[in-house]
Chain A
Amino acid sequence: MRPVRTLVLVAIFVIAQNGNVNAQCKAFAKRDCLPELASYTHDGNYHAAVLVEGEEAELYKTFYSDMDYRVAIVGDEKLPAIEYRILDANKNVLYSNKENNFAKTWDFKLQSSQQLKLVVKVSSFNKPGEMPASGCVAIMFGFQLKK
């Protein structure tokens, strides 16, 4: 019975911890990512998750020609640099923060409305034999009417 009891305890522990981590992501997003939007109005959507070193996330969103946009992508300080690319429907890379000193934000506007794809990747510390780092990564969008 002991292994079963242990497993139940571990499961409860894992669920509780995972809930805590998620709640921490919301707090992290508000504390560390939201301020990066500065004068842009946050659209109110929430995109955050715990990612692990080497892991990728994708986001699909339509952007409109009437707006100026800022995207802010911020990772927990325990994580290595967060890389992200913005691609069009034909998978052409329109922006890569890797070529811009791993900038957390990118400001853009569109001549015509487009659906774009964001690919976010937690880079690697490249430390073989060690457990991969993990932490929250938040993606937020701010907008303002085109100037």
Chain B
Amino acid sequence: MNKRFSIGSLSLALILVISLFTGCKGGKKAQQDDITVDIKDKDEILQDIKQAEKIFQALPSPLESAMLIKSAGARFEDKLLNPVSNVNNYVTNKAMAINLGIYTCDLSFASLYEQTQLLIDYMNAAKKMADGLGILKAIEQSDIDRLEENINNSDVIMDIVSQTFMNSNSYLEDNGQPATAAMVLVGGWIEGLYISTQLVDMKDFNGNKLVARIIDQKLSIDILLNLLSGSKGNPAVDALMVQVGKLKAVFDKIRIDTSPISTEFDQTSKTTMLKSEIKTDMTPEVFLELSKTVMEIRNSFVI
């Protein structure tokens, strides 16, 4: 390979080639006057690309978590939310990222239960976190104004909540801050789990739909750890991994057995049903341990 390009790995060469092909065509000739780039054989490049595949770990978003709580028939309790008066306590990058996730979950929860004033208060709290993290245009005043104008239109509200959250996480992903993006998601997920566990009435434990949704979160714990391990070495992430590790140890006490999945296509709705039976086993004692562990983690986030 040409020595002048030897600092670049193949990835750099590839990015350069992609960059040249995807934008700034006017500058291409001038670049060619100055440097010589060996373009590898296409098959060789494709081979290298295959080794560098992209892996996404998708946790339930705060909006999805809130929707799951509501669909399980849970009641709304504002005292479970992180008070907006705490907003000035969060000054570190980690605290602001986690509480952006927490406030987004809280505002999603408020929006689904049509708690209009709370929704606006929590949107302002989330905006403060996003602004503190330097996330440009995540939540703008115009979004809050639009929220106020459409306070009785749940479709528009859900659309605004979803869009503002996407603005935050896309900004962080696209600007090389995956650790911060992961912490936002962790905050939202833990808040959803905290609200769910607090809303379970132990007198109505067996057959409780909310308990079933909590058990389902075991399916996401490895996704969460994989998401965080992508930023291993970041002190804030390493500390979170220890906390999540404790949570995983409790989830590991819950058994989930699933039968093989079969598919059934419904011509009328054009929807495929994934059919499978599931057997789960969580004792009240394990639930209480889970609830306590989640509360400890969540409390460490919001103080």
Interface positions of A (Cβ within 8 A of B): 3, 6-7, 9-10, 13-14, 17-23, 25-26, 29-30, 41-62, 64-68, 88-90, 92, 94-95, 106-115, 124, 128-132, 134-135, 139, 141, 143, 145-147
Most chain A CB neighbours (cut-off 10 Å) among B19, B72, B169? B19
Contact B166 A131 (CB under 8 A): no
Q: How far is the CB of B36 from chain A (nearest CB, A)?
A: 10
Closest to B172 in A: A46
User: CB distance A45 to B166 under 8 Å?
Assistant: yes
Closest CB of chain B to A124's CB: distance in Å? 8
Q: B31 to chain A: which residues have CB within 8 Å?
A: 10, 13
**15 A-B pairs in the complex with CB atoms less than 8 angstroms apart:** A6-B35, A13-B27, A13-B31, A14-B15, A53-B46, A55-B54, A57-B54, A59-B55, A64-B60, A64-B216, A108-B273, A108-B274, A109-B274, A111-B273, A111-B277
Partner of B174, one of A23, A113, A115, A129: A23
Query: How many inter-chain residue pairs (CB < 8 Å) link A and B?
Result: 215
Are the CB atoms of B49 and A41 closer together than 8 Å?
A: no
Known: A114-B258, A115-B223. A58 touches B271 (CB 8 A): no
Which one of B22, B34, B258, B277 has the highest number of Cβ atoms from chain A below 10 Å of its Cβ? B22
Q: Using a CB-CB cutoff of 8 Å, which residues 123-176 of chain B contact chain A?
A: 158-159, 161-166, 169-171, 173-175
The answer to whether B71 touches A44, judged by C-beta atoms less than 8 angstroms apart, is no
In the complex, the answer to whether B166 meets A44 with C-beta atoms within 8 Å is yes
Shortest CB distance B301–A (Å): 20
A94 in contact with B64 (CB, 8 Å): no
Residues on A with beta carbons closer than 8 Å to the beta carbon of B64: 43-44, 67, 143
* A8 CB, nearest partner CB in chain B, Å: 11
Q: How far is the CB of B182 from chain A (nearest CB, A)?
A: 12
List residues of chain B with CB within 8 A of the CB of A141.
58
CB distance from B40 to the nearest CB of A (A): 10
Is B4 close to A, CB under 8 A?
A: yes
Chain B: minimal CB distance from A24 (Å): 8
Tell which of B27, B260, B271 touches A107, judged by Cβ atoms closer than 8 Å.
B271
Which residues of B12-28 have CB atoms within 8 Å of chain A's CB atoms?
A: 12, 14-19, 21-24, 27
Residue in A closest to B181 when the chains form the complex, CB atoms: A46
**Chain B residue contacts of A146, Cβ below 8 A:** 71
B63 contacts A46, CB within 8 Å? no
Contact of B170 with A46 in the complex, beta carbons under 8 Å:
yes
Main secondary structure of the interface of A (DSSP, over half): mixed
Cβ–Cβ contact A46 & B173, under 8 A: yes
Name the CB-closest residue of B to A111: B275
Q: How far is the CA of A129 from the CA of B226 in the complex (A)?
A: 38
**A19 and B50: CB pair below 8 A?**
no
Chain A residues with Cβ under 8 A from B60's Cβ? 43, 62, 64
Question: Once bound together, how far apart are the Cα atoms of A114 and B260, in whole Å?
Answer: 11
Closest 5 CB pairs of A and B: A44-B165, A17-B19, A112-B278, A61-B58, A22-B174
Is A111 a contact of B276 with CB atoms below 8 Å? Answer: yes
- The verdict on B61 contacting chain A, using a C-beta distance below 8 Å, is yes
Q: How far is the CA of A53 from the CA of B15 in the complex (A)?
A: 14
Indicate whether A60 sits within 8 Å of B58 (C-beta atoms), given known contacts A52-B14, A111-B277.
Answer: yes
Chain B positions within 8 Å of A23 at CB level: 174
Do B58 and A47 touch (CB < 8 A)? yes
| Minimum CB–CB distance for A40 against chain B, Å | 11
Against A, the Cβ 8 Å flags (1 = close, 0 = not) of B37-63 are: 001001001100110111111111111
Answer yes or no: B68 CB below 8 A from chain A CBs.
yes
Report whether B174 and A42 are in contact in the complex, using a CB–CB cutoff of 8 Å: no
State in angstroms the CA–CA spacing of A76 and B287 once bound together. Answer: 46
Q: Are B220 and A58 in contact (CB under 8 A)?
A: no
Task: Say how far B29's CB is from chain A's closest CB, in angstroms.
Answer: 14
Determine if A42 and B275 form an interchain contact, defined as CB atoms under 8 angstroms apart: no
Alpha-carbon distance between A139 and B58 when the two chains are bound, in angstroms = 11
A67 contacts B67, C-beta separation under 8 Å: yes
Q: In whole Å, how far is B155's beta carbon from the nearest beta carbon of chain A? A: 8
